[in-house]
Structure 1
Amino acid sequence: CLGKEVGADIPFCVYQKVARVRGIGDIVEPFKLKVGYDVLLIKPKQGVDTKIAFEILDLDKCPHPDINQVKKALINNEPLKDILGNSLLYSAEKLVPEILDIIKECKERGYEDVVMTGSGSTVFVLLEKGQDCRDLIKFMEGKYPFVYRTSILIK
């Protein structure tokens, strides 16, 4: 797969569908959602060096979210706040502490479905379709260089 040679996220992006992605981005398992979601993306100025994040990752000390449970909850439109997670957060936040600040600031404002994307440093807030989050956008735009609201495509 040429996309895999360019970057681990490329094969997933080519599908343009909701999917569980495994391996080094080369195992893409699309699945259908019953409802659409909006997503707020927030990125601090500094990125995460993925190689270093994986080198300092201690798998014995970080939580391991049940991805099958997350997938099931997404498919069935069930609450996610207690099951979302990212094992790499615990090494990424050592490299870019602002990641935890963003997550905390979102949760303090009442947004519960918040987690770091992939290897970071972008954080996403999962929103109900059309949910008003102008307060959060305004706050985050005053602090971080990249704040963008988008939607998850349902195909």
Structure 2
Amino acid sequence: MDEIIIESYGKINLSLDVLYKRNDGYHELNTLMQQVDLKDTLTLKEIKEGIIIECNNSDVPLGSANLVYKAWEKIKERTGVNKGIHIKIDKQIPLASGLAGGSTNGAAVLKGLSELWQLNLEEEELRGIGVEIGADVPFCIMGGTAYAQGIGEKLKKLKPFSNKLVLLANPGIEVSTAYVYKNLVLNKDKRVDIDRLIRYLEEGNLKGLAENMVNVMEEVVIKDHPIISEIKKDMMKYGALGALMSGSGPTVFGIFDDEEKMIYCRNKLSSKIKKIYMCKTI
């Protein structure tokens, strides 16, 4: 085998709480992560030496700043296998969107190289390598529905919350994750009730979950970018059961129980938002 094609799925945060800043500079999180079927497609082909990265989006870095490059470096370092790779990325997930577009590409390369090079690495091993690349990479390796703690690397797989209708709206603004964390005011007395949300997930209670989703990062982002709040309100107005910003933004997602409502909402939003995606959870 000298070539493999692998699909690289995005994620949303069904809820996100930031507990405190750790001694290592990272923040301790409580979050519910859910894979969605908006995806990039990566083609990995073995070459003699080095790495070549191609992408259909000219804004994607093609050097060491790209997580696929870091994934190739890390897996070589961990296994001692020193082979070249050509990676072609068909990028559909918008950049810097809160949908883990870079992380899921890194995860795809780890999984793809394990198969391509016949390393047969277990998922746990891949996740261990992945956390050295980025906080969301371990979840992107595992996929599905999960409760994540730590910086996002401590994962508990939950009952699948698949085939739920999700509308993604990306307003095309730049949001710095570092800026959001720096300006986030942590309220120790007001925590997101993650256990309650997990219960709704386990019960398949779509309405209960959608109506009680919380992302503590929204407050910082909405202050600078009120369009986030506008999109949320529009989604609710046009039929969503609930709407939330994913991660540090700026993408907003709405959860629907009816496809016609989702299509109606998409059509209404399309006059002011260009990047809109109708998805399902995986």
Give the alignment's TM-score, normalised by structure 1.
0.86
d(CA) in 2 for partners of 1:64 and 1:29?
A: 20
Q: 1:6/1:111 Cα in 2 relative to 1: closer, same or farther (>3 Å)?
A: same
Structure 1 match to 2:203: 76
Rounded to whole Å, the distance in 2 between the matches of 1:55 and 1:92 is 12
Residue aligning to 1:99: 228
Q: 2:259 aligns with which of 109, 131, 137?
A: 131
Match status 1:141 vs 2:270: yes
Alpha-carbon distance in 1 for matches of 2:271, 2:140: 29
Amino acid at match of 1:24: I
Q: Deviations over 1:43-84 (max 9, x none)?
A: 111132111111111123995321111111011022224421
1 or 2, which has the higher strand percentage? 2
Query: Contact 1:62–1:90 (CA<8 Å) still a contact in 2?
Result: no
Is this contact kept in 2: 1:42–1:122, CA < 8 A? yes
**1:126 positional shift:** 1.5
Cα gap change, 1:98 to 1:77, in 2 (>3 Å)? same
1:13-32 correspondence to structure 2 within 5 Å: 13-32=140-159
Query: Structure 2 counterpart of 1:16, which letter?
Result: G
- What amino acid is the match of 1:143? K
* Pairing partner for 2:138 from 11, 35, 38: 11
Q: Which runs of 4+ in 1 moved over 6 A?
A: none
Contact kept? 2:144, 2:160, Cα under 8 Å: no
Instruction: Please give the secondary structure, in 1, of the residue aligned with 2:196.
Output: helix
Letter in 1 for 2:134: G
- Check conservation: 1:85, 1:115, Cα contact below 8 A: yes
TM-superposed CA distance for 1:31, in Å, is 0.7
Cα 1:136–1:62 change in 2 (3 A) is farther
Q: CA RMSD in A?
A: 2.1
1:145 Cα deviation from its structure 2 partner: 2.7
Moved more, 53-62 or 70-79: 53-62
Deviations, residues 82-105 of structure 1 (Å, cap 9, x unaligned): 421111111121232211111011
User: What stretches of structure 2 of length at least 5 have no aligned partner?
Assistant: 1-127
5+ residue gaps, structure 1: none
C-alpha separation in 1, matches of 2:161 and 2:266: 26
| Corresponding residue of 1:89 | 218
Contact 2:210 2:255 (8 Å CA) reproduced: no
1:4 positional shift:
2.1
Q: Which of the pair has more CA radius of gyration? A: 2
Report matched runs for 1:49-60 at 5 Å: 49-60=176-187
Candidates 45, 48, 51, aligned match of 2:172: 45
Q: Indicate the residue corresponding to 2:249 in structure 1.
A: 120
Give me the identity figure in percent.
Answer: 28
Contact map agreement 1:62 1:87 (CA 8 A) in 2: no
CA distance in 2, matches of 1:91, 1:68: 25
**Number of residue equivalences:** 152
SS in 2 for 1:6: coil
How many angstroms does 1:151 deviate by? 1.3
